[in-house]
């Protein structure tokens, strides 16, 4: 189950229910800050909140400003800076400065733009929310900002007052093969922010007892991937060693945009895999997307360490590119 933070959606729901709502967004930080740029807090007209932009009295001040902004309809830019000595009391880990943009929904932030943003998020579509703080213009952008999307990095465009808030779909890990490595990898991936799914038609392997609390599909991998879909926020990890299971999944993945494809096996096993894919009509550039043998070469020994190496390689590809 994809786990968005739900903050824009909550703000839209409050607005549509007639309660009034504002979105507060961290737009800049210096020094120490407990929340990264792009973090959001939704505030209803009755003072209900969802999310966080800091803590302590900083957040309290943001809520007060948001309620006042709902009265006049204008956006507000707030700045909070504290010394190391006073930092803890106001919700900063140590000395630092944060800037927060407060936007009343239906006024500074058009309701139709927020609704389109929520729809894109529901469709697992990466989208950037663009706020020109000088002109007051607000819009969505789907075509630019490739580096920002890859890095999940919101921020100002260089030498401008144009703020770009990145809204990426939740990361997802689809693992084919309910083996010992998968038992270690799935909980690690969940801690790292992924929504994991385990795919294996062998019910004795892919059982709730071996994978407590995880999403398990007993379909054949190609059928499972057709159901789940593969997009630019999905990593596919193949752990079965069995071409009958791995190859149909690879065929789907190599025609899709998933950011990471990894396949377990030795160099010799991977060479055989490459030959099969060439016979199936895939070219060298497509096949080169596969990380095989899987994982960073850290001298891993045993399932848990192999899982660490796989998650590390996924992270490197996600953040730095292939």
Q: Among positive and negative, which fits the CA dihedral 250, 254, 259, 263?
A: positive
Rounded Cα distance, 109 and 191, in Å:
33
What is the DSSP annotation of 33-53? -SS-TT-EEEEETTS-EEE-S
Domain chopping of the chain, boundaries:
7-167, 171-320
Along the 322 residues of the chain, how does pLDDT read in single tens digits? 445 578 999 999 999 999 999 999 999 988 766 778 999 999 999 999 999 988 667 888 999 999 999 999 999 999 987 654 554 555 545 557 889 999 999 999 999 999 999 999 998 899 999 999 999 999 999 988 988 988 889 999 999 999 999 999 889 999 999 999 999 999 999 999 899 999 999 999 999 999 999 999 999 999 999 999 998 899 999 999 899 999 999 999 999 999 999 999 999 999 999 999 999 999 999 999 999 999 999 999 999 999 999 999 999 999 888 7
User: Within 13 A of 26's CA, how many CA atoms are on the CB side?
Assistant: 23
Rounded Cα distance, 15 and 286, in Å:
46
| Residue 176 phi, psi dihedral angles, 5° rounding | -100, 115
Residues with Cβ within 8 Å of 143's Cβ and at least 6 positions away in sequence, in order, are none
For the entire predicted model, the pTM comes to: 0.75
Q: Among positive and negative, which fits the CA dihedral 158, 164, 165, 171?
A: negative
- pLDDT for 133: 97
Residue among 6, 38, 43 nearest 23 (CA):
43
- β-sheet with 127-132: strand ranges across: 138-141, 127-132, 162-167, 155-156
- pLDDT for 196: 96
- pLDDT for 165: 97
CATH number, span 171-320: 3.40.50.720
């Amino acid at each position: 189950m994809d786990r968005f933070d739900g903050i824009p959606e909550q703000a839209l729901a409050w607005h549509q229910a007639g309660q009034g709502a504002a979105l507060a967004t961290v737009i800049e930080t210096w020094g120490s800050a407990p929340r990264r740029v792009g973090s959001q807090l939704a505030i209803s007209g009755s003072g209900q909140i969802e999310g966080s932009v800091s803590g302590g009295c900083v957040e309290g001040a943001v809520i007060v400003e948001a309620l006042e902004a709902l009265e006049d309809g204008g956006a507000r830019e707030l700045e909070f800076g504290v010394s190391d000595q006073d930092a803890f009391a106001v919700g900063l880990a140590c000395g630092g400065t944060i800037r927060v943009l407060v936007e009343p929904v239906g006024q500074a932030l058009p309701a139709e733009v927020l609704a389109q943003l929520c729809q894109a998020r529901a469709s697992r579509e990466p989208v950037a929310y663009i706020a020109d703080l000088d002109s007051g213009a607000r819009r969505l952008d789907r075509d630019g900002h490739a580096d920002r999307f890859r890095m999940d990095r919101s921020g100002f465009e260089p030498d401008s007052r144009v703020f770009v808030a990145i809204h990426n779909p939740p990361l997802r890990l689809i693992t084919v093969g309910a083996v010992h490595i998968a038992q270690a990898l799935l909980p690690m991936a969940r801690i790292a922010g992924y929504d994991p799914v385990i795919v294996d038609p062998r019910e004795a392997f892919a059982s709730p007892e071996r994978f407590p609390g995880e999403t398990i599909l007993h379909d054949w991998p190609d059928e499972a991937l057709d159901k789940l879909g593969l997009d630019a926020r999905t990593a596919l990890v193949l752990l079965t060693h069995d071409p009958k299971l791995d190859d149909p999944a690879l065929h789907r993945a190599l025609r899709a945009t998933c950011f990471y494809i990894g396949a377990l096996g030795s160099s010799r096993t991977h060479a055989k895999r490459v030959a099969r894919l060439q016979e199936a009509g895939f070219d060298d550039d497509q096949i080169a997307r596969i990380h095989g043998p899987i994982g960073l070469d850290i001298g891993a020994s045993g399932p848990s360490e192999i899982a660490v190496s796989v998650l590390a390689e996924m992270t490197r590809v996600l953040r730095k590119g292939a």
